[in-house]
Amino acid sequence: MLESIHGPKDLAHLTYEELGALSSEIRTFLVEQVSKTGGHLGPNLGVVELTIALHRVFDSPKDVLVFDTGHQTYVHKILTGRAPSFAKLRQRGGLAGYPSRSESEHDVIENSHASTALSWADGIARAFKVQGIKDRTVVAIVGDGALTGGMSWEALNNIASAQNIRLVIVVNDNERSYSPTIGGVATYLSTLRATSGYEKFLDWGKGVLDKTPVVGHPIYKTLHGVKKGLEDIIAPGGMFEDLGLKYLGPIDGHNIEAMERSLTAAKSLAQPVIVHVITEKGRGHAPAVNDQAEKFHAVGIVDPETGTPLNKSVVSWTSVFSEELIKAGRERADIVAITAAMLGPTGLDAFQREFPDRTFDVGIAEQHAVTSAAGMAFAGLHPVFAVYSTFLNRAFDQLLLDVALHKSGVTFVLDRAGITGDDGPSHNGIWDLALSGIVPTLQVAAPRDGARLRETFREAIQIEGAPSLVRFPKGEVQADIPAFERRNGIDVLYRGESADVLLVSIGAMAAIAVDAASQAYREGVGVTVIDPRWVKPLPLELISMAERYKSVVVIEDGIRHGGIASTLSEMFRDANISVPIHSIGVPLAFIEHSKRGEILTDLGMTARDITRELVEWSSALKDDGLRAEKQLPEHENERRPGSR
């Protein structure tokens, strides 16, 4: 049946029994395909029936479907004709792991950062109204986790004030984002889930008590009175209706017929309405349903039957940080950990198990996390906020004005810094060095290996009266790279026999830098590789070191524009140093999904490419020197005694 689905219109003629069979086929297809490529399996297994119902009721792309956290769009991609492309999911030339406008007219939001869909939907719906378009509905599909983000509530506040826009908000409530959803909204939604059970209990109780002579009916009236007294607190939709929004639900998110009725009713209202749907994350796949951690939110290559990872187990950067944080927590009672709904992915789950009262999951609310950390620091704690590099972008104002301006002793630990690859342009952590570089008082470390991660993290949490930041990449941590010596905090990793090039390696680029220096030596170019470890502020020792070389090259896994090379160039200008400086890094562009190695090759950031550039730049300097020497006699002749 799945082979007959080439677009949403192919769903229209199917019976509910056939739709049930299609749902099973889609789940089997997802498990088979995602197990081979890796990807977001759990969220998509949970939204199969929901996505089918959406495409049966709404006419995409005329009606606009806007998905928050776009990793839940695999089923949407299947139903819009992209099933044949799943063999290369998240691979070069294949499907993106998130919506992509270049793939389909059915895709809208590409950035895949949570809590944005409601604002997108509000803007689109208002645009339709301004243009007098009355036959197009906007549908925002939002997870319960996304409602923990403040931007969602800013949007809801504005949506509620626009009663005459055609906007349907589908809240996909599966009780989990990355981690179990927490906070006041989650508690409220849990209450709504419990409400229907309470109603069933009352119905059962009425039947039993009505059969009880004399006292049965009065007892039921008492129970019902208690229930009526609770209605103002736990009535379904009460909170949303207080905002002025119509509410339908909760609805079984795996019952296509029930969802179609509710979605059709919502569409007919022609005003903002919330449809609350209960789904089960990972439904239909036992390893995902039974998993109590976050690994089935996103998986690597796994056994499709058991869910067991097939790739070899490796020591990750995240696990190294996690271990060091626990050690620090045992030594210092003031160390606390903060996460934005990502305990497991950032390595804080282990810290939470040992120090549950010192671990704070604020939900998908990075802005709140940063300012709350400033408050904790003011009150005498040392917060460690662990977050993906790309997600700290969302809290730049708070980093700048709530933390840095107040010189708050907060340590930021950025996981997945630099090029991450598979998840596409919105998930590469290539902006943090440039952004953090313009924040006064902030000190930034870029460790090259596991040993330096432990070292710089310990140094970071010792800093008083200023914030600190430690960044590291995604994946496996490579073997430690020892230094020949340390000069005023700068590690010398490789010594060239001649002073041709000083190669400044930033963070995890060290192995490539050392390899390139070794290859350049065989080409007759002397390269010395250094690692400053702390890149903000850059050590002043760099100036005196650079003066001894013919040129300086900086290699960094962040954008070149405003990056470390730019900062070093500014230092040279201020010190009147005229040594040429070259930058090897990421161009100012959005990078499409590919493997990290493929992207580095594209950008010319392999050891072979860097070697070639080092040799070419050195050769150009020698040629310039020879030309200058040839011109010197003629130049001197022009200034012979008595000449003008």
For residue 160, give the CATH number of its domain.
3.40.50.970
Q: Tell me: do 518 and 453 sit in the same domain.
A: no
Whether the predicted pLDDT of 399 surpasses 80 = yes
Asked if the structure places residue 312 within a domain, the reply is no
Quickly state the pLDDT bin for 70 (edges 50, 70, 90).
Answer: confident
Taking the CA atoms of the chain, what radius of gyration do you get in angstroms?
29
CATH number at residue 558: 3.40.50.920
Supply the pLDDT for residue 197.
Answer: 44
Q: Tell me: do 23 and 141 sit in the same domain.
A: yes
Asked if the structure places residue 98 within a domain, the reply is yes
State how many domains the chain has.
3
Whether the predicted pLDDT of 175 surpasses 70 = no
Supply the pLDDT for residue 384.
Answer: 98
Asked if the structure places residue 307 within a domain, the reply is no
**C-alpha pair distances (Å), 148 with each of 144, 151, 311, 368:** 7, 9, 34, 11
Quickly state the pLDDT bin for 237 (edges 50, 70, 90).
Answer: low
Supply the pLDDT for residue 569.
Answer: 94
214 vs 134: which has the higher pLDDT = 134
644 vs 322: which has the higher pLDDT = 322
Which residues make beta-bridge pairs with 361?
339
Paired sense of beta strands 551-559 and 534-536, if any? unpaired
Supply the pLDDT for residue 113.
Answer: 77
Q: Which of 92-96, 499-503, 541-545, 606-610 has the lowest mean pLDDT?
A: 92-96
The residue written with tokens 């209450």 in the block is 191
Query: Can you tell me the distance from the alpha carbon of 387 to that of 362, in angstroms, rounded to the nearest whole number?
Result: 12
Whether the predicted pLDDT of 427 surpasses 90 = no
Q: What is the mean pLDDT of residues 359-367?
A: 91
Q: Tell me: do 28 and 151 sit in the same domain.
A: yes
Query: Can you tell me the distance from the alpha carbon of 420 to that of 593, in angstroms, rounded to the nearest whole number?
Result: 9
Supply the pLDDT for residue 424.
Answer: 66
Quickly state the pLDDT bin for 284 (edges 50, 70, 90).
Answer: low
Q: Tell me: do 123 and 245 sit in the same domain.
A: yes
Supply the pLDDT for residue 37.
Answer: 76
348 vs 187: which has the higher pLDDT = 348
Q: Cβ distance 469 to 411 under 8 Å?
A: yes
Q: What is the mean pLDDT of residues 157-173?
A: 89
Q: Could you say which of 433, 448, 471 is where a domain stops?
A: 471
Quickly state the pLDDT bin for 572 (edges 50, 70, 90).
Answer: very high
First to last CA, the chain: 93
Q: Tell me: do 212 and 266 sit in the same domain.
A: yes
Asked if the structure places residue 641 within a domain, the reply is no
Q: Could you say which of 240, 273, 290 is where a domain stops?
A: 290
Q: Tell me: do 275 and 321 sit in the same domain.
A: no
Whether the predicted pLDDT of 421 surpasses 80 = no
Cα 513 versus chain centre, distance: 28
Q: Could you say which of 446, 471, 496 is where a domain stops?
A: 471
**C-alpha pair distances (Å), 315 with each of 321, 445, 449, 470:** 11, 21, 11, 18
Q: What is the mean pLDDT of residues 155-163?
A: 86
Strand order in the sheet with 382-388: 359-361, 335-339, 382-388, 411-415, 468-471, 443-445, 534-536
Supply the pLDDT for residue 229.
Answer: 42
Q: Tell me: do 458 and 492 sit in the same domain.
A: no
Give CA angle at 241 (237, 247), nearest 5°: 50
Q: Tell me: do 85 and 13 sit in the same domain.
A: yes
Domain encompassing residue 433: 317-471
Query: Can you tell me the distance from the alpha carbon of 481 to that of 123, in angstroms, rounded to the nearest whole number?
Result: 51
Q: Tell me: do 70 and 13 sit in the same domain.
A: yes
Residues 251, 255, 258, 260: what is their CA dihedral angle, to the nearest 10 degrees? Answer: 110
Quickly state the pLDDT bin for 498 (edges 50, 70, 90).
Answer: confident
Query: Can you tell me the distance from the alpha carbon of 347 to that of 183, in angstroms, rounded to the nearest whole number?
Result: 21
Supply the pLDDT for residue 114.
Answer: 82
Go through 376-406 and write b for each residue having 16 or more CB atoms within 10 A of its CB, e for each that does not. bbeeebbbbbbbbbbbbbbbbebbbebbbeb
Quickly state the pLDDT bin for 311 (edges 50, 70, 90).
Answer: low
Asked if the structure places residue 305 within a domain, the reply is no
Query: Can you tell me the distance from the alpha carbon of 549 to that of 564, in angstroms, rounded to the nearest whole number?
Result: 19
Q: What is the largest CA-CA distance in the chain?
A: 133
**Tokens standing for 551?**
């040129």
Asked if the structure places residue 335 within a domain, the reply is yes
Q: Tell me: do 95 and 143 sit in the same domain.
A: yes
Q: Where are the alpha helices (DSSP H) in 249-402?
A: 256-269, 286-290, 317-331, 349-354, 366-378, 389-392, 396-397
Quickly state the pLDDT bin for 298 (edges 50, 70, 90).
Answer: low
Share above pLDDT 70 across residues of the chain, in percent, rounded to a whole number: 81
Whether the predicted pLDDT of 623 surpasses 70 = no
Query: Can you tell me the distance from the alpha carbon of 276 to that of 260, in angstroms, rounded to the nearest whole number?
Result: 13
Whether the predicted pLDDT of 191 surpasses 90 = no
Q: Tell me: do 199 and 67 sit in the same domain.
A: yes
Tell me 626's DSSP state. H
Strand order in the sheet with 167-173: 64-67, 138-143, 167-173, 273-278, 246-252
Residues 6+ apart with CB under 8 A from 261: none
Residue 373: which of 344, 339, 350 has the closest Cα? Answer: 339
Paired sense of beta strands 551-559 and 501-505, if any? parallel
User: What are the residue numbers of the active site?
Assistant: 281, 366, 394
One DSSP character per residue, 208-257 reads HHHTSTTTHHHHHHHHHHHHHHHHHHH-TTHHHHHTT-EEEEEEETT-HH
- pTM for the whole structure: 0.77
Q: Tell me: do 615 and 539 sit in the same domain.
A: yes
Quickly state the pLDDT bin for 286 (edges 50, 70, 90).
Answer: low
Asked if the structure places residue 444 within a domain, the reply is yes
Query: Can you tell me the distance from the alpha carbon of 32 to that of 303, in angstroms, rounded to the nearest whole number?
Result: 9
